């Protein structure tokens, strides 16, 4: 029964997450197609990345170290960005090991910090920065802003996505720098030349 509840919680979390992200394939065919077109990714690539994300979440659920709760993942073309905050280096290494066990993973970018959040205010500030980053990206470049994922840990904003337009990426980074509390921006966006 406990496993059934965990699987249900995982599916609910995935549905909630995907409905707000550039891989929002579960939000309906027309919405998913529009987002895929805006994100410069094929439907097959989006499905592959969603499968990887679900498989990573499953691996994290089976961890005794709360990886499912403490570590966030973003997947773009088989590249997995890990962000979050864990208690020690061993847990950080275990997270990377578990991701490499998932079929289809081409690269793991480990940006997991070791330590703890000073207080609830710091966590709320990071959440606010992430929300503002998403909103300002959409305000600045329209729906193309959906092709970027943002994660914030201790004021450091991680950006991952795919674009063929360097000027749009520059605009997004410029506007995110204006958000109060942003200490650094780490850019993992792939620029497709062509």
Interval 114-162: pLDDT, tens: 887 667 788 899 999 999 999 999 999 998 888 899 999 889 999 998 8
What pLDDT shows up at residue 40? 63
Which residue among 49, 82, 114 closes a domain? 114
List Cα–Cα distances, 32 to 13, 18, 20, 27, in angstroms. Answer: 18, 10, 11, 6
Same domain? For 106 and 12 the reply is yes
Q: Find the domain containing 93 and state its range.
A: 2-114
Average model confidence (pLDDT) across the chain: 81
Give the chain's domain count: 2
Domain identity same for 49 and 141: no
What CATH number is given to the structural domain containing 40? Answer: 3.30.1340.30
Q: Which two tokens stand for residue 189?
A: 């966006």
**CA-based nearest residue to 139, from 175, 85, 179:** 175
- Tell me, yes or no, whether 154 and 177 share the same domain: yes
Query: Which CATH number goes with the domain that contains 185?
Result: 3.30.1340
Reading the block at residue 59, the tokens are 């691996």
Domain identity same for 67 and 47: yes
| Domain endpoint, select from 85, 114, 143 | 114
C-alpha pair distances (Å), 46 with each of 22, 76, 147: 9, 8, 11
Judge if 54 and 106 occupy the same domain. Answer: yes
Does 88 lie in the same domain as 12? Answer: yes
Provide the whole-model pTM. Answer: 0.66
Q: Tell whether 15 and 63 lie within a shared domain.
A: yes
CB atoms within 10 A of CB 151: 22
| Statement to judge: residues 13 and 71 lie in one domain | yes
The pLDDT, as a whole number, for residue 120 is: 77
């Amino acid at each position: 029964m406990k496993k059934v509840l965990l699987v249900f919680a995982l599916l609910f979390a995935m549905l909630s997450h995907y409905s707000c992200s550039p891989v929002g394939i579960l939000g309906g065919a027309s919405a998913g197609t529009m987002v895929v077109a805006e994100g410069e990714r094929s439907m097959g690539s989006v499905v592959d990345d969603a499968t990887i994300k679900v498989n990573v979440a499953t691996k994290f659920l089976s961890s005794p170290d709360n990886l499912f709760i403490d570590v966030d993942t973003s997947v773009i073309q088989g590249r997995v960005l890990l962000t979050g905050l864990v208690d020690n280096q061993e847990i950080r290494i275990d997270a990377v090991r578990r991701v490499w066990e998932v079929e289809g993973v081409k690269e793991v970018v480990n940006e997991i910090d070791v330590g703890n959040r000073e207080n609830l205010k710091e966590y709320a500030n990071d959440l606010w920065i992430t929300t503002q980053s998403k909103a300002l990206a959409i305000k600045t470049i329209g729906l193309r802003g959906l092709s970027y994922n943002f994660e914030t840990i201790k004021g450091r904003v991680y950006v991952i996505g795919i674009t063929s337009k360097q000027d749009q990426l520059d605009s997004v980074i410029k506007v995110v720098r204006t958000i109060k509390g942003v200490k650094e921006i780490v850019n993992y966006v792939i620029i497709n030349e062509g």
